[in-house]
Amino acid sequence: MTSVDCDVAVIGAGIVGSAIARDVAGSDLRVVLIEGRADVGDGTSKANTAILHTGFDAKPGTLESRMVSRGYRLLSDYAAQTGIPVEPTGAILVAWDAEQLEALPGLKEKAEANGYQRCEIVDAAAVYAELPHLGPGALGGLTVPDESIICTWTVNLALATDAVNRGATLLTDHRVASIEVGDESTTLHTERGTAITARWVVNAAGLGADHLDALFGYHRFTVTPRRGELIVYDKLARALVDKIVLPVPTARGKGVLISPTIYGNVMLGPTSEDLQDRTATGTSEAGFEFLLDKGRRLMPALLAEEVTATYAGLRAAIDHGDYLIEADPVQRYLLVGGIRSTGLTAGMAIAEYVRDVLASAGLASPQRTDLPAPPRMPNLGEAFPRPYQQDELIAADPAYGRVVCFCERVTEGEIRDACQSVIPPATLDGLRRRTRAMNGRCQAFYCGAEVQELFESRSHTPPALTSSPESQP
Ligand SMILES: Cc1cc2nc3c(=O)[nH]c(=O)nc-3n(C[C@H](O)[C@H](O)[C@H](O)COP(=O)(O)OP(=O)(O)OC[C@H]3O[C@@H](n4cnc5c(N)ncnc54)[C@H](O)[C@@H]3O)c2cc1C
């Protein structure tokens, strides 16, 4: 049996767990980041609408509101340091009937209560001036100039890579199955038979957080997987819309939006449907009918464009109105639960908050001064230079001139780099999230065989344990 010893074990390598592991690894504490799947960022964090939210529509006074607006700033800065692509497209929330129009002043006030002062109410003419392809019948809107689009895959990978570079040990393919709480430490047993002994345990397991919470003796919440299905339209549709088109939010959530994507497409979605099955990330006929019906009204011209892909993600909705972040100093256990529809934006702020919670619970450790620079991530954004466009790069390394995936213009050099990176892909899907290969119009029909061959020849079996040379445990 393999055993690993550390100060802090973080369960779940989605955006939230990776951000926490990165933050804690910035101190002298020894950190292990444990993920049940074969890759980081393979849960909810890979399938969302990828909007960097200002937090204008959060419930004022909640922890979520604070975390989203702080997370917006932290992630914007981090994106600039690491090369995570972000486009400040802005958003317009559109009112389609008198009731929604009347709700706009209240939404503007709410934005201001959330610390966001830049919303403006505009009339229908101004809405159509910004969104000329919008369907008929819009009565007015609320502008949110700082809502942005971002690459959720790169966010997750950057945070996890940074955690490993700072000395954290990453264990993938290690689902935590049982725990033993002792007087001084807790031992986590994984399905692979590894025992991880930690002074403190952080539960950032997303959809699985309530099950782990129960292993610590709690029954304080239940996760309900709330499915969101989305349709991704071809890049030719991008000329139709350069802003995020938001509906007036309802009690069930943010509603169906139309948004440009960072990869140059346009998306329509998500749905919002409570399920029982926490693995039900398939799409459905009913979901598409619903979205097409909405899309027909929102932007009829979009429906004439070709669909590139469809996907679904599961929000970890809980029976509690806010994030649930609570420390148990006796068991040295911290729950980070209910991060349902804003965790991409809020992740780094949650990590900062967790640092303070751990310090007040007795686990204070000052930040190190010898931290490595944040990783420089490969650019997946359509609006920024990609390797195939850079003559000097190609002259220095011809692999960046050999395009393998023609829809997304991904080169052999990028696939090689991904396979040799700090956290290499474990699967073809992981390679897609690191390069965009097979993510385009043909959905791997033309490039799939070559990408697979390159992946197999370049990648050795990825280690389930990743640590940097100076990693402690
Ligand atoms: C349709 C949709 C749209 C969204 N849009 C946005 C948006 O535009 N902007 C935004 O900010 N947020 C958005 N979100 C929310 C955001 O995606 C989530 O809040 C965020 O990804 C949650 O991250 P996480 O790390 O908590 O969870 P996850 O990414 O799910 O990570 C949890 C990890 O824990 C692992 N795990 C679970 N149990 C165990 C165990 N026993 N042992 C080991 N590992 C375990 C899982 O495998 C998983 O990888 C959206 C969500 C959805 C579904």
Ligand 1: atom nearest CA of 346 is: 11
Residues 6+ apart with CB under 8 A from 15: 41, 45, 152, 155, 156, 159, 343, 344, 347
104 alpha carbon – ligand 1 mean position (Å): 30
Question: pLDDT tens across 141-189, in order?
Answer: 999 999 999 999 999 999 999 999 999 999 999 999 999 999 999 999 9
CA dihedral 150, 154, 156, 157 (to 10 degrees): -170
Nearest CA to ligand 1 atom 1: 228
Confidence band for 472, pLDDT divided at 50, 70 and 90? very low
Tell how far the Cα of 118 is from the centroid of ligand 1, in angstroms. 29
The Cα–Cα gap between 233 and 269 comes to: 11
Could you tell me if the CB of 207 is within 6 A of ligand 1? yes
Residue 244 φ then ψ, to 5°: -85, 130
Tell whether the torsion through CA atoms of 175, 169, 67 and 199 is positive or negative: positive
21 lines ligand 1 (CB under 6 A): no
Provide the residue ranges of all domains of the chain, joining segments of one domain with +.
1-88+149-222+319-381, 89-148+224-318, 387-457
pLDDT digit string, tens, across residues 376-426: 999 999 999 999 999 999 999 999 999 999 999 999 999 999 999 999 999
Averaged over 11-17, what is the pLDDT?
A: 98
pLDDT band of residue 446 (cuts 50, 70, 90) is very high
Q: What is the DSSP string of 155-183?
A: HHHHHHHHHHHTTPEEE-S--EEEEEE-S
Distance CA 186, CA 198 (A): 5
- pLDDT one-digit tens code per residue, 63-75: 999 999 999 999 9
Distances (CA, A) of 377 to 95, 237, 265, 445: 39, 27, 21, 27
> Which residue from 22, 44, 192 has its CB within 8 A of the most atoms of ligand 1, so it is best to mutate?
44
Length of the chain: 473
Q: Express as a percent the part of the chain with pLDDT over 70.
A: 97
Distances (CA, A) of 39 to 160, 354, 457: 10, 24, 19
Q: Whose CA is nearest to atom 12 of ligand 1?
A: 342
Domains 1-88+149-222+319-381 and 89-148+224-318 share a fold: no
For the chain, how big is the Rg over CA atoms in Å? 22
Confidence category of residue 469, pLDDT binned at 50, 70, 90: very low
pLDDT by residue (tens digit) across 189-215?
Answer: 999 999 999 999 999 999 999 999 999
- Ligand 1 atom with the smallest distance to the CA of 226 is 53
Atom of ligand 1 nearest to the CA of 51: 8
Q: Strand, helix or coil at 258?
A: strand
- Please give the distance of CA 263 from its chain centroid, rounded to a whole number: 15
473 CB less than 6 Å from ligand 1?
Answer: no
* Fold of the domain spanning 89-148+224-318: D-Amino Acid Oxidase; Chain A, domain 2 (3.30.9)
The kind and range of the H/E element at 51 are strand 51-52
Phi, psi (degrees; rounded to nearest 5) at 186? -120, 140
Tell how far the Cα of 132 is from the centroid of ligand 1, in angstroms. Answer: 34
> pLDDT band at 464, cuts 50/70/90?
confident
Average pLDDT, the chain: 95
* Ligand 1, atom 3, residue with closest C-alpha: 48
What is the rounded distance in angstroms from the CA atom of residue 336 to the CA atom of residue 338? 7
Determine if ligand 1 sits within 6 Å of the CB of residue 57.
no
Residue 158 CB neighbour total at 10 angstroms: 27
The pLDDT of residue 397: 98
Which helix (H) or strand (E) segment is 467 a member of? strand 465-467
pLDDT exceeds 90 at position 459: no
Statement: residue 136 has pLDDT above 80: yes
Q: Which of 10, 32, 37, 48 to mutate to test the pocket of ligand 1 (most atoms within 8 A of CB)?
A: 48
| Contact 39 CB / ligand 1 (< 6 Å) | no
> Does domain 1-88+149-222+319-381 correspond to CATH entry 3.50.50.60?
yes
For residue 124, pLDDT over 80 is answered with yes
**Ligand 1 neighbourhood includes 65 CB (under 6 angstroms):** no
pTM higher than 0.75 for the full model?
A: yes
CA of 163 to the centre of ligand 1 (A): 18
Q: Is the CB of 48 under 6 A from ligand 1?
A: yes
8 Å CB contact between 219 and 324: no
Cα–Cα distance for residue pair 260/232, rounded to 1 Å: 9
Residue 16 Cβ inside 6 Å of ligand 1? The answer reads: yes
Residue type, 282: G
Q: Choose which residue among 76, 273, 344 to substitute to test ligand 1 binding: the one with the highest number of ligand atoms within 8 A of its C-beta.
A: 344
315 Cα to the center of ligand 1, angstroms: 7
Tell me how crowded residue 449 is: count the other CB atoms within 10 A of its CB. 10
The answer to whether 451 and 431 have CB atoms below 8 angstroms apart is yes
Contact 302, 233 (CB under 8 A): yes
State the CB neighbour count (10 A cutoff) for residue 110.
19
